[in-house]
Amino acid sequence: MAKREEILTAALDVIARNGYRRTSVRELADAVGLSQAGLLHYFSSKEELFQEILRKRDEVDASAFESMHESPIEGFFAVIRHNSEVPGLVQLYAQVSTEAGDPDHPAREFFIERYKQFRAMFSQLIRDEQAAGRIDADLDADRIANLFLAAADGLQTQWMLDPSIDMADHVAYLWQLVTRA
C-alpha cells in the first residue's frame, strides 16, 4: 500500500521535529490530511503504528547510510552522527524501545528481533576485523557487539539530557579501544 508508506514517511517528519511525547495519532493524521479514524484504518492500533514508524526509519537509515560507506562500521558511525540531527526520532526510539521491555508490550517481538539482527550483524563485522588482523583474535566478538549496541543506546539517553555529548565521538572512541586492545 502506497498510502501506508506515505503515512509513515510523513510521520517520521513530524516526529523528528516534535518528538514522541507530544505526538498523538491525531497530529500524525493532520500531517497527511486524514482524520484520526481515517489514519487508523491503515493500522490496527497506535502501538502498531509507532512500531511501523520505527521499522520505516531503520529502512530509510539503512538505504541512506549503509551503501555510501566502504566499511560497515563507518555506516554505523554515520547513522549515529545523523541521529543528532533528528532529536525527535532519538526520543521516539529510546522511549518505545524501553516500553517494549514490558512483557505485554505489542512491539516487544519487533525489538527482540531487531536486536537479534543488529547483534548478528555487528559481531560478524568484528569477526571480519579479527580475521583481517585489525582486532585481537582473543576478544569476544559477541560481547563486544552487545557493548556497542548498548553504548549507542545509552549515549542517546545522555545526549538527550545534554546535547553537548558527542555520541558518535564516544562510540568511535570505544572502537579505538577495541582495535588497539
**Residues at the contact surface with a copy of itself, assessed by CB under 8 A:** 19, 21, 90-91, 94-95, 97-102, 105, 108, 111-112, 115, 139-140, 143-144, 146-147, 149-158, 160-162, 165, 169-170, 173-174, 177-178, 180-181
Residue from the set 9, 18, 36, 84 that interacts with DNA by CB under 7 A: 36
Residue from the set 34, 79, 89, 90 that interacts with DNA by CB under 7 A: 34
180 binds, among DNA, a copy of itself, none (CB under 5 to 8 A by kind): a copy of itself
Closest by Cα among 136, 150, 149, 140 to 179: 136
Closest by Cα among 103, 79, 104, 73 to 93: 79
The CA distances from residue 142 to 134, 160, 169, 171, 179, in Å, are: 16, 28, 22, 17, 15
Three-class SS state of 84: coil
Considering the rule CB under 7 A, would residue 47 count as an interface residue with DNA? yes
Considering the rule CB under 7 A, would residue 31 count as an interface residue with DNA? no
Closest by Cα among 101, 113, 174, 111 to 144: 174
Query: Minimum CB separation from DNA for residue 41, in Å?
Result: 4
The three cell numbers locating residue 79: 547513522
Instruction: List residues binding DNA (CB under 7 A).
Output: 1, 3, 22, 24-26, 29, 33-42, 45-47
